[in-house]
Amino acid sequence: MGREIGLRVAIWAALLALLALTIVLALAPLGPLRLVAALVIAAAKAGLIGWFYMDLRKADGVTRLASVVGVIFITILILMASLDFALRAGNP
């Protein structure tokens, strides 16, 4: 049990380090890259929580599929909305 808890504590330290990193990067002059950096870090944090805390690393295939299906549909929604903004005449 001790080793299992040790792994979760290590993940927690990594999550806090990523939180510190995202705050530092948000105050740095990165321009439009800032949003990208913030989202990449958020995705990394979500990945750590999903893989180790939600035990997706021990889950079967169909459960892993269910865990990403919401993300896939949201990606489609944002992608299609972006296409509409990019291609419709008269939009900024």
Partner 1 sequence: MSKAVEALLPFADRAQKRRADTFGMFVFLASEVMLFGALVATLAAYRALHPGAAGEAAQHLNLGLASANTAILLTSSLAVAIGAIAARHGRARICAGSLGGAIVLGAAFLVIKGVEYRLDFLERLTPRGGVLGEGAATLFLSLYYVATALHGVHVAIGIGLLAWTAIAVGRGRLVMPDRAESVELVGLYWHLVDVIWVFLFPLLYLARP
> What sign has the CA pseudo-torsion 55, 56, 61, 63?
positive
Q: Which of 1, 89 has the CB closer to partner 1?
A: 1
> What sign has the CA pseudo-torsion 78, 80, 86, 91?
negative
User: Can you read off the two tokens belonging to residue 63?
Assistant: 């459960």
Is 21 a residue that touches partner 1 (CB under 8 A)? Answer: no
Taking the alpha carbons at both ends of the chain, their separation in whole angstroms is 57
Q: Would you give the DSSP letter of residue 91?
A: -
Is 51 a residue that touches partner 1 (CB under 8 A)? Answer: no
Q: Which of 34, 89 has the CB closer to partner 1?
A: 34
C-alpha–C-alpha distance, residues 3 and 44, integer Å: 23
Is 15 a residue that touches partner 1 (CB under 8 A)? Answer: yes
Contact residues toward partner 1 (CB under 8 A) are: 1, 4-5, 8-9, 11-12, 15-16, 19, 22-23, 26-27, 34-35, 38-39, 41-42, 45-46, 49-50, 52-55, 59-60, 62-63, 66-67, 69-71, 73-74, 77-78, 81-82, 85, 92
